[in-house]
Structure 1
Amino acid sequence: MMLTSEMIRAARALVRWEQTDLAEATGLSLATIKRLEKESGPIPGTRATAAALEAAFSKARIEFSFDRGEGVTRLKAPAK
């Protein structure tokens, strides 16, 4: 399944990141983050862009689940 702009915005909200924080965490430009979040639905762009987003959110303990269609975003418990 693919990440959607709604999932990205929800994940940012969970970790209380601004778009600039996400740009810094992913190495993507702020303009790219804004473009990705602008439209509803699956994010446009390359697999590398999606991988950068997934890696940054994973490091921030965000988990994406696709078992209910579009996907669910949640904050994982800290490692013990």
Structure 2
Amino acid sequence: MGDCFSLQVSVMIPKVSTWVIALSILKVSIEQVKAARALLRWSQNDLAEASGVSIPTVKRLEATTGDLGGRAATVAAIRSALETAGVEFIPENGGGAGVRLRK
């Protein structure tokens, strides 16, 4: 074979900050999660199973008030499970945040 040479290529990929991802996710409160479960007639176990989040984590998160805390992936999994089941999260718009079932 003829002469061989090595080529090394460097590619710069910008890092996406966690705060940018967090800003793109609509805030959901613990109260909205509980109301959504009630509309679906889901237990904490049902939510854990549908979201892939452990039962102790769901219980720990629901024992607080305010915005749904935890890791961004956990929040996204819980929200996605509820939305897939037909829940719509209503943002604070002067009338208060809430939830409803899609038609």
Give the TM-score, by structure 1 length. Answer: 0.88
Unpaired segments of 5 or more residues in structure 1? none
Q: Distance in 1 between matches of 2:28 and 2:92?
A: 13
Paired residue for 1:13?
Answer: 38
1:22 maps to what in 2? 47
CA distance in 1, matches of 2:44, 2:98: 20
| TM-score, scaled to structure 2 | 0.70
Q: Structure 1 runs of 4+ off > 4 angstroms?
A: none
Q: Structure 1 residue 40 and structure 2 residue 51: aligned?
A: no
Percent identity of the aligned residues? 44
Q: Deviations over 1:14-59 (max 9, x none)?
A: 0000000000000000000001111110122111111101110111
Residue of structure 1 in register with 2:74 after alignment: 49
Cα distance, 1:4 vs structure 2: 1.0
Say if 2:92 is the partner of 1:76: no
Could you say what the CA RMSD is over the residues aligned between the two structures, in angstroms? 1.3
Q: How far apart, in 2, do the equivalents of 1:37 and 1:21 lie? A: 14
What residue is the counterpart of 2:3 in the other structure? none
Could you say which structure has the higher helix fraction?
A: 1
Code of the residue aligned with 1:75 in structure 2: it is L
CA distance in 2, matches of 1:63, 1:38: 22
1:67 CA drift (Å): 3.9
Residue ranges of structure 2 left out of the alignment (5+ in a row): 1-25
Letter in 2 for 1:37: E
| Whole-angstrom CA distance in 2 between matches of 1:65 and 1:58 | 12
